[in-house]
Amino acid sequence: MKELGLNKKLVIFEGASKTFKTSIIKEINESSELNAFFFKLKKRVRWGQTYFNMNINSPDLSTFLEGMNVGSLEALLYTDYDYILIDRMHISQYVYDKLYRRMNYTLQSFKLFEDHLINIYGLSNIRMIYLRDNVSGIKSRLEKEDINESEQLQDVLDRFEEAFTFTRFAYKRIEASSFDELEFYVQQVKEFINE
Q: Which CATH number belongs to the domain containing residue 27 in this structure?
A: 3.40.50.300
Choice between 129 and 146, residue whose per-residue pLDDT is larger:
129
d(C-alpha 41, C-alpha 154), whole Å: 25
What one-character-per-residue DSSP string does 113-162 give?
Answer: HHHHHHHHH-GGGEEEEEEE--HHHHHHH--GGGGGGGGGHHHHHHHHHH
d(C-alpha 155, C-alpha 136), whole Å: 13
Total number of domains constituting the chain? 1
- What residue type is assigned to position 25 of the chain? I
pLDDT of residue 70: 62
DSSP helix, strand, coil percent of the chain (3-state; round to 5) = 55, 20, 30
pLDDT tens per residue, range 23-53: 999 888 887 678 887 876 544 333 333 333 3
CB 15 within 8 A of CB 21: yes
**195 found inside a domain:** no
Does residue 166 surpass a pLDDT of 50? yes
**33 found inside a domain:** yes
The pLDDT confidence band at residue 110, using thresholds 50, 70 and 90, is confident
pLDDT of residue 15: 94
Phi/psi of residue 40, each to 5°?
Answer: -110, 125
Domain containing 116 equals 2-188
Answer yes or no: pTM beyond 0.75: yes
**60 found inside a domain:** yes
- Counting residues of the chain whose pLDDT is more than 70, the rounded percentage is 71
CB 79 within 8 A of CB 31: no
**48 found inside a domain:** yes
**193 found inside a domain:** no
**120 found inside a domain:** yes
If one counts every other C-beta atom within 10 angstroms of the C-beta of residue 47, the result is 18
